[in-house]
């Protein structure tokens, strides 16, 4: 997994400033891609050898720096912890095995960060263990065997792991299926996935910031537009949920519908949908709203949409 520069995705944001650490990371990634494209085996091998030697040299230097900090006792530990909060330094520490937080703890913390989002739709994720750098997790509840679990995994869990544990060697998932979105059955509920409009097939999804969610009260429904896509966002049972602003039955806007508890009624056809059950219809017609992944944390709220 590739390391991030700042520990938080910047989807939809402007490019990095010239001379910034983020630009340096992008430059390294671009040069690495150019190196991989070199066709002459001897030239490529020598270049890779040079890069490896430079990395080893800086790694040896970092080990001496952090060994000195460890010898300094408590003041050195405080400096080490402060350095670990810097995205660039943290990436170097991870590469050379110097990061102060164990891999298992960082993986568990990453899963904890997305658990409220998954629980809000009747799902959960459990860390079964880590063996030789490979994490094994299990999707539970509405996630298990769900046609949308692969997309949920890609958009929420994998992103969280890439940020917190870029040194993770692999991921094994129990309970995920690769089948794309299909018609609902009585035994499977879809968790939120990126909803792609007609003509958007093949467009890579991304996370985008949304503003104004702090002002949404419990039981309140609000219409929002993100990247030109109309959404309805509601706060239900203390959590934020997002859906496309369209009834699955008649296509009418839902933003003027009545929200009673977790049940949203369509103002046009009067169908009822449970927002905490991923927007499934309560009228026994196997319909479901189009849920949109939403993650809220100390930095604000983000939704995943086709870019």
- The tens digit of pLDDT for each residue in 119-159 reads 766 678 889 888 878 888 887 765 555 544 555 555 678 77
- At residue 155, the pLDDT reads 64
Q: Which has the closest alpha carbon to 225: 240, 212, 241, 214?
A: 212
CA separation, residue 204 to residues 135, 200, 228, 242 (Å): 25, 9, 16, 19
Cα distance between residue 189 and residue 279, in whole Å? 9
Residue 91 sits in the same domain as residue 111: no
Residue 296 sits in the same domain as residue 241: yes
pLDDT over 60 at 31, yes or no: yes
Q: Which of 69, 95, 121 is the last residue of a domain?
A: 95
Assess if residue 168 is contained within a domain.
yes
- 302 by DSSP, 3-state: which? strand
Residue 91 sits in the same domain as residue 108: no
Q: Work out the burial of residue 215: count CB atoms within 10 Å of its CB; fewer than 13 is exposed, 13-18 middle, 19 or more buried.
A: exposed
- At residue 6, the pLDDT reads 38
Residue 77 sits in the same domain as residue 139: no
Task: Retrieve residue 58's tokens.
Answer: 């800086």
Assess if residue 143 is contained within a domain.
yes
Cα distance between residue 263 and residue 131, in whole Å? 43
Other beta carbons within 10 angstroms of residue 167's beta carbon come to 17
Average pLDDT over residues 218-236: 90
Q: Which has the closest alpha carbon to 278: 166, 184, 179?
A: 184
Residue 136 sits in the same domain as residue 157: yes
The sign one gets for the Cα dihedral 300, 209, 23, 103 is positive
pLDDT over 60 at 194, yes or no: no
Assess if residue 48 is contained within a domain.
yes
CB 133 within 8 A of CB 127: no
Residue range(s) defining the domain that contains residue 287: 205-306
Assess if residue 108 is contained within a domain.
yes
Which range (5-14, 213-222, 236-245) has the least confidence? 5-14
Task: Retrieve residue 93's tokens.
Answer: 């520490």
* CATH number of 258's domain: 2.102.10.10
Assess if residue 187 is contained within a domain.
no
Assess if residue 4 is contained within a domain.
no
Residue 272 sits in the same domain as residue 218: yes
Assess if residue 237 is contained within a domain.
yes
CB 288 within 8 A of CB 187: no
Number of domains in the chain: 3
For residue range 48-70, what is the model confidence (pLDDT) as tens digits? 888 888 888 988 888 898 889 88
Radius of gyration of the chain (CA): 23
pTM for this model (two decimals): 0.50
* CATH number of 133's domain: 3.30.300.130
Average pLDDT over residues 278-300: 79
| Averaged pLDDT of the chain | 76
Residue 169 sits in the same domain as residue 110: yes
pLDDT over 90 at 268, yes or no: yes
Residue 37 sits in the same domain as residue 64: yes
Question: What is the strand order of the sheet 300-306 is part of?
Answer: 205-210, 300-306, 294-297
Residue 215 sits in the same domain as residue 294: yes
Cα distance between residue 288 and residue 281, in whole Å? 6
Highest mean pLDDT among 57-66, 177-186, 212-221, 251-260: 251-260
Assess if residue 214 is contained within a domain.
yes
Q: Return the beta strands (E) in the chain as ranges.
A: 123-131, 134-141, 170-174, 205-210, 221-226, 229-236, 239-244, 258-260, 263-265, 272-274, 280-281, 291-292, 294-297, 300-306
Q: Which has the closest alpha carbon to 153: 183, 161, 306?
A: 161
């Amino acid at each position: 997994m590739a390391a991030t520069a700042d520990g938080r995705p910047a989807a939809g944001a402007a490019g990095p400033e010239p001379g910034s650490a983020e630009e340096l990371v992008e430059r390294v990634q671009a040069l690495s891609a150019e190196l991989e494209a070199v066709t002459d085996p001897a030239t490529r091998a020598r270049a890779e050898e040079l890069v490896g030697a430079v990395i080893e040299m800086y790694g040896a230097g970092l080990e001496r720096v952090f060994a000195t900090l460890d010898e300094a006792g408590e003041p050195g530990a405080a400096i080490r912890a402060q350095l670990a909060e810097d995205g660039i330094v943290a990436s170097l520490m991870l590469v050379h095995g110097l990061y102060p937080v164990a891999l298992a703890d960082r993986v568990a913390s990453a899963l904890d960060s997305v658990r409220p989002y998954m629980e809000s739709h009747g799902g959960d994720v459990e860390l079964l263990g880590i063996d030789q750098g490979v994490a094994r997790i299990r999707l539970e509840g509405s996630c298990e065997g769900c046609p949308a679990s692969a997309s949920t995994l890609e958009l929420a869990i994998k992103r969280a792991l890439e940020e917190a544990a870029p040194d993770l060697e692999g991921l094994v998932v129990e309970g995920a299926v690769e089948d794309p979105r299909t018609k609902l059955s009585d035994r499977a509920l879809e968790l939120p996935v990126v909803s792609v409009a007609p003509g958007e097939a093949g467009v890579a999804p991304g996370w985008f910031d949304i503003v104004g969610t702090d002002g949404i009260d419990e039981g309140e429904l609000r219409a929002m537009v993100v990247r030109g896509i109309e959404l309805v966002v509601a706060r239900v049972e203390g959590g934020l949920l997002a859906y496309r602003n369209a009834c699955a039955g008649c296509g009418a806007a839902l933003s003027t519908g009545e929200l009673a508890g977790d049940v949203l009624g369509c103002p046009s056809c009067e169908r009822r949908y449970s927002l905490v059950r991923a927007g499934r219809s309560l009228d026994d017609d196997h319909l479901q709203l189009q849920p949109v992944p939403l993650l809220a944390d100390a930095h604000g709220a983000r939704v995943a949409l086709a870019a």
